[in-house]
Amino acid sequence: MSIPIVHVGLDDGKASLDVDLCGSAVHLSYDPAGCQKLLTRLLARPGRIHVVCEATGGWERTVVAALHAAAIPVSVVNPRQLRAYPRASGRLAKTDRIDARVLSAFGQAIQPRPTAPPEPVQAQVAAWVTRREQLQWMLNAELCRQMPGLPKAVASHLAQSITRLEKELEKVVQAIATLIASDPKMNAAAERLQSFQGVGPGTASVLLGHLPELGTLADNSIAALAGLAP
Q: What are residue 217's phi and psi, to 5 degrees?
A: -120, 160
Which amino acid is present at 8? V
Beta carbons of 10 and 76 less than 8 angstroms apart: no
Per-residue pLDDT, 96: 47
From 70, 98, 71, select the one nearest 83 (Cα to Cα): 98
Euclidean distance between CA atoms 181 and 120, whole angstroms: 14
Report angle CA 109, 115, 120 to the nearest 5 degrees: 170
Structural domains in the chain, CATH included, are 5-110 (3.30.420.40), 120-212 (no CATH)
- Residue 211 has a pLDDT of 78
Mean pLDDT in order along the chain per 10 residues (230 residues): 82 90 88 94 89 85 91 88 66 60 88 86 89 95 94 96 97 96 92 92 89 65 57
pLDDT of residue 95: 45
Spell out the alpha helix ranges (H) of 56-119: 61-69, 79-88, 100-110
Asked if 35 and 63 count as a contact pair (C-beta separation under 8 A), the reply is yes
From the list 36, 37, 7, 31, the residue with the least C-alpha distance to 21 is: 7
The reported pLDDT for the residue numbered 115 is 87
